[in-house]
Each structure stands twice: as C-alpha cells, then as structure tokens.
Amino acid sequence: MLLKTLPADKERIIVPGPAGFMPPSAAQLGVELPPSGVGIAYGHHTPEDIAIAEIARQMLTKPNATIFPGPMVLWAWNEHAVEKAQAVMEIAAQIPNVFIIPMPDYRPKYPKVDPEEVINPNHPNLTIWGNKIEACIFVGLHCHYANLTLKMIRAGTNCCTSALCAEQGHEDAMLSVHDMDVAKLRKVAQIIKRVREEMKIPLPADGRTVRYTGLQSRVNGGETHVNPLSFKLASPPPSGVRMPPEGQKPH
C-alpha cells in the first residue's frame, strides 16, 4: 500500500536500531521493494519526494551525518561515473558538516582496518560506532553489499540509514529511493536544499560543507573542511573504457 505521508511512529517497521542480536531482515518482516517512482520510508512505500525530504531532515539534523560513496561513484571508471560522483558532491554541498567516508571495495581489510576512515561491508558497524554517525546515505554500492551493510548497521547501531540506489532500492534501509541516475541525484540535492532552507539552516559562506575525517585532515595540511564543489578530477577517465550505448549505462 502506498502511503501519502511518512508512516506514524508506531507503524514504522524498519527504524534506527540497535534492533538486536539477530533481527530478522526487512524481507522477513514483509517489506517489499517498490515500483518505479515510489520510495521506501521506514518499511512503507511512500512517494519518492516524501522519502527524499525525510532523508534531508535526517541528514541535516542528526549528529555526524555521513555520505558513504561506493566503488561505482568513487572511481572514475568512465564519464558516467564521473557525472554521478559530481552529482553526489552537489548533495554534499547542501549538508553542512557532512562527512564523506568511502567504501572503496568490498574486501576484508587484513590485518587491520581503520574503521573511522573507510567503511567495509564486513564490519560497517565499526565505522558507525567509531564516528558516532546517526544518519547516513549510501550511494554507488553494488546492491548485495549494500544490503549486508544496511542489515548490520540496523542490528547494531542507532544510525538512520538511507540508500540512493541505481537499481530497485533497499528494503533494509530506513529510507530508500531507487532508479538513481544523474538527474535524480541532482533532484535529491535540490530537495535537500529546499528542506534546508525551510529549516533555516545556513550554509557556510565559503561553501566548505564537507568535514574532513582525521586522516583526510592530515593529508590536506590540517584543513578541517572542504568545499565539495571545488573538487576537480585529476585526469579524465581512461579512454579505453568502452561506454555502453545510451540507455544501457552502468549504474
């Protein structure tokens, strides 16, 4: 059933945890992925814009809000990936003090991981705990690994998770929007801008909205923040990468 508003608190199924030692998956709780144009808010199908506005409110108000970019927007595989990454930066430009912590790949990090600097699908809870993150957006991950990550975060942390998915979405996220192409990512940025302005949350005058993690600060000369729109690609994507025909672009 498609709700016209956010579900009431008592009707919410998928909410920030800790949900317990071994909580059932959202699918086990009967949450299904929605059709095109419909998002998921707390286990219920809602119009996409309502889910995006709730993502905005969570990211603008919860402590240590973080964007977790996955390999498909983190690496310049091709021009499409670069365009998407730039759209993600436009989202970051609307959220004051946001962290950007990458999920560069899915491999376990032996012998030691630095969970405050990277997130990994084998122990995403460590990154959430270490940075005291209470709201986050995942974007650019392969769906299987996003789902593992979302389940573990819901089980063990109090973080409100959002997924911006190029495919069918994620029922284990508290908030999920799917079919994410470049245009829709830019729409997310615009809705966050609108909500931010309604909430009268100003942007820093210099546009430096992204807060560096400890390591990011150290490698950037002790700077604490950066303007995400100042990011420039060091070099164009490799010319040998074949671009699929229009309509078959990789997510």
Partner 1 sequence: MSDPLESEVKTNPQGDPITSVEPEQKTNPQGDPITSAAPVKVGGGSKDPHEGAKKQRVVTPEYMFSEAPRKREFITGSEAAKEAVRRSNVDFSVAYPITPQSETMQLIGVLYGEGYVKEYYRGEEEYGVMSAIAGGSRAGVRCFTATAGPGTLRGVEPIASWPGHRLPAVAMFTCRVVNAPLAIQPDNIEVAYLLHCGMIVFHAENQQDLFDFIMKGFIISEKNDVTLPVGVACDGFFVTHARAYVDMQEKDIKLPPREAWKGAVPVLDAENPPARLSRDAPVQKSNFMAYNIHAVWQQEVWAAVERSRRYIEQYMGGLCTAENVEGAEAVIIASGSACAQSREAIRLCKDQKVNVGLIKIRSLRPFPIKELRRLCAKAKLIVIPEFNYVGWLAKDVAAAIYGYSNAKIVAGPHVYGGMSMPVEMIVDEVIGGLTGKKSITVPDSAIMGRDVSQAEVAHFMQNI
List interacting residues with partner 1 (CB under 8 A). Answer: 21-22, 24-28, 32-33, 71, 105-113, 121-126, 142-145, 147-148, 151-152, 155-156, 167-168, 171-172, 244, 248, 250-251
Q: How far is the CB of 95 from partner 1 (least distance, A)?
A: 27
Cβ 133 vs Cβ 65: under 8 Å: yes
Q: How far is the CB of 221 from partner 1 (least distance, A)?
A: 31
Residue 228 gets which letter from DSSP?
A: G
- Residue among 48 and 171 whose Cβ is closer to partner 1: 171
Q: What angle do CA 141, 144, 150 make, to 5 degrees?
A: 75
Q: How far is the CB of 234 from partner 1 (least distance, A)?
A: 20
Q: How far is the CB of 121 from partner 1 (least distance, A)?
A: 7
- Residue among 49 and 105 whose Cβ is closer to partner 1: 105
- Residue among 63 and 244 whose Cβ is closer to partner 1: 244
E strand residue ranges, the chain: 38-41, 44-47, 66-69, 98-100, 135-139, 160-164, 175-177, 210-211, 225-226
Torsion angles phi and psi, residue 70, rounded to 5: -95, 180
Cβ 186 vs Cβ 87: under 8 Å: yes
Q: How far is the CB of 191 from partner 1 (least distance, A)?
A: 25
Torsion angles phi and psi, residue 46, rounded to 5: -135, 160
Q: How far is the CB of 83 from partner 1 (least distance, A)?
A: 16
Cα–Cα distance measured from residue 136 to residue 237, given in angstroms and rounded to the nearest whole number: 28
- Residue among 90 and 172 whose Cβ is closer to partner 1: 172
Cα–Cα distance measured from residue 135 to residue 55, given in angstroms and rounded to the nearest whole number: 9
Q: How far is the CB of 48 from partner 1 (least distance, A)?
A: 17
Query: In terms of Cα–Cα distance, which of 3, 136, 132, 123 is closest to 67?
Result: 136
Strand 210-211 relative to strand 160-164: parallel, antiparallel, unpaired?
Answer: unpaired
